[in-house]
Amino acid sequence: MSENSLNISDAEWVVMRAIWLLGDATSSQIVEALERDTRWKPRTIRTLIGRLVKKGALEYQEQGREFIYRASVDEKHCEAAVSQHFLDRIFGGRLAPFIATFVESGNYSPADIAELKRIVEIHSEPGGSNDDK
Amino acid sequence: MSENSLNISDAEWVVMRAIWLLGDATSSQIVEALERDTRWKPRTIRTLIGRLVKKGALEYQEQGREFIYRASVDEKHCEAAVSQHFLDRIFGGRLAPFIATFVESGNYSPADIAELKRIVEIHSEPGGSNDDK
DNA sequence: TTGCAAGGATTACAACTGTAATATATAAGG
DNA sequence: CCTTATATATTACAGTTGTAATCCTTGCAA
- The answer to whether A84 faces chain B, any CB pair under 8 Å, is yes
What element of type H or E holds B59? Answer: strand B58-63
Of B104, B113, B120, the CB nearest to A76: B104
Q: What is the pTM of this model?
A: 0.87
* B117 compared with B132, residue with greater pLDDT: B117
pLDDT of res. A65 = 86
- The answer to whether A119 faces chain B, any CB pair under 8 Å, is yes
* Chain B residues touching residue A10 (CB < 8 angstroms): 89
A110/B131 CB distance under 8 A: yes
B126 pLDDT higher than 80: no
Side chain identity at residue B126, one-letter code: P
Q: What percentage of chain A exceeds 90 in pLDDT?
A: 61
Interface test with B, best of A119, A129, A133 (most B CBs within 10 A): A119
Distance from CA of A15 to the nearest CA of B (A): 11
Q: What percentage of chain B exceeds 90 in pLDDT?
A: 59
Q: How far apart are the C-alpha atoms of B62 and B44, rounded to whole Å?
A: 21
* Chain A residues touching residue B119 (CB < 8 angstroms): 96, 99-100, 103, 116
Contacts of B34 (CB under 8 A, 6+ apart): B14, B15, B18, B40, B45
- Residues B8-25 have pLDDT tens digits of 999 999 999 999 999 999
- Residues B36-59 have pLDDT tens digits of 999 999 999 999 999 999 999 999
Interface test with B, best of A115, A124, A125 (most B CBs within 10 A): A115
Residue B66 exposure: Cα atoms within 13 Å on the Cβ side = 10
Q: Are B109 and A99 in contact (CB under 8 A)?
A: no
Q: Are A85 and A44 in contact (CB under 8 A)?
A: no
- Ranges of beta strands (E only) in A7-126 are 25-26, 58-63, 66-71
Q: How far apart are the C-alpha atoms of A31 and A122, rounded to whole Å?
A: 41
Q: How far apart are the C-alpha atoms of A27 and A61, rounded to whole Å?
A: 12
